[in-house]
Amino acid sequence: MKLIKDREEYLKEFEISVISDENTDINNALNNQTSKKLENAFKTALDTRKFEIELYWKRTTYFWAFIAFFFSMYVIALNSDNINEHKHITILISLIGYLFSLGWYFVNRGSKYWQENWERHVANLEGGIQGDLFKMLKMPETNLITKPFKEYPFSVSKVNQFLSFVVHAISWQ
């Protein structure tokens, strides 16, 4: 695997030379050199990004279900009439719950990494194909504090990472 530092170096991997003259726009150079190879790479990057997002939410659902199950089992065990006889079961349930919480946190971080990896591929490839759509961001016209019920550009996956970290931290207690 090769570490690529910038868009110019990235495009060289596709055998596309970009003229780095100050008067030459990179996108114009790309528009003149767009090839089937570049378009296929762009489509693959978009599809893989979409697939990573889909997997992210499937994994999250999987972990939520197991953590909810172990939490329920723990509560049932604590409310058992003969809890003193089965303390080892509550310890085992809490240990498994902790491991799933920790795993969920790490899987969230890994999933986000691969999603952003494919977003960087798309951002590097898209200029010569469709324009810089993935490099534009709609900024909110509202303030998070003064308008708490309006839209705001929270990262849904980062909120999920935060929740998984909190569940992990609580399960350790």
Q: What is the pTM of this model?
A: 0.69
Position 21 scores a pLDDT of 47
Beta-carbon count within 10 A of 148 CB: 9
Alpha carbons 31 and 157: distance in angstroms, whole number: 34
Position 173 scores a pLDDT of 60
Quickly list H helices, the chain.
Answer: 7-12, 26-33, 36-78, 87-126, 156-172
Domain boundaries, the chain: 7-172
Find all residues with CB under 8 Å of 22, minimum gap 6, and list them.
none
Side-chain-side CA neighbours of 74 within 13 Å: the count stands at: 15
Per-residue pLDDT of the chain (173 residues; tens, 9 = 90+): 677 777 778 777 776 655 454 445 555 555 555 577 788 888 999 999 999 999 999 999 999 999 999 999 988 988 888 878 878 888 899 889 889 989 999 998 999 899 988 998 898 888 777 777 777 777 767 677 777 777 777 788 888 888 888 888 887 66
SS3 assignment, position 35: coil
Position 23 scores a pLDDT of 43
Integer angstrom CA distances of residue 17 from 6, 120, 131: 13, 19, 18
